[in-house]
């Protein structure tokens, strides 16, 4: 399905190449199977953890996995 698109337009930030979605998927899989390094992350929404894969970073609450 990703091959049907060239660009994605996120809700904030600049447009990204469509294959960025692959990095997001790999990042979430790495979080779920605990293969990615997790670091503390603070935002306006509170404290969380963040993991990075390629161009993607995902902030999450480990208690909600």
The rounded distance, in Å, linking the Cα atoms of 48 and 18 is: 27
Q: How many CB atoms lie within 10 A of CB 51?
A: 20
Q: Tell me the per-residue pLDDT of 18-41, one tens digit each, with 9 for 90 and over.
A: 999 999 999 999 999 999 999 999
Q: Give residue 45's pLDDT.
A: 87
pTM of the model: 0.87
Nearest to 25 by CA among 49, 60, 58, 3: 58
């Amino acid at each position: 399905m990703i091959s049907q698109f060239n660009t994605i337009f996120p809700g904030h930030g600049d447009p990204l190449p469509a294959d960025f979605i692959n990095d997001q998927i790999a990042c979430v899989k790495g979080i779920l199977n605990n293969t990615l390094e997790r670091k503390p992350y603070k935002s306006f929404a509170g404290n969380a953890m963040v993991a990075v894969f390629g161009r993607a970073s995902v902030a999450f609450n480990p208690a909600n996995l």
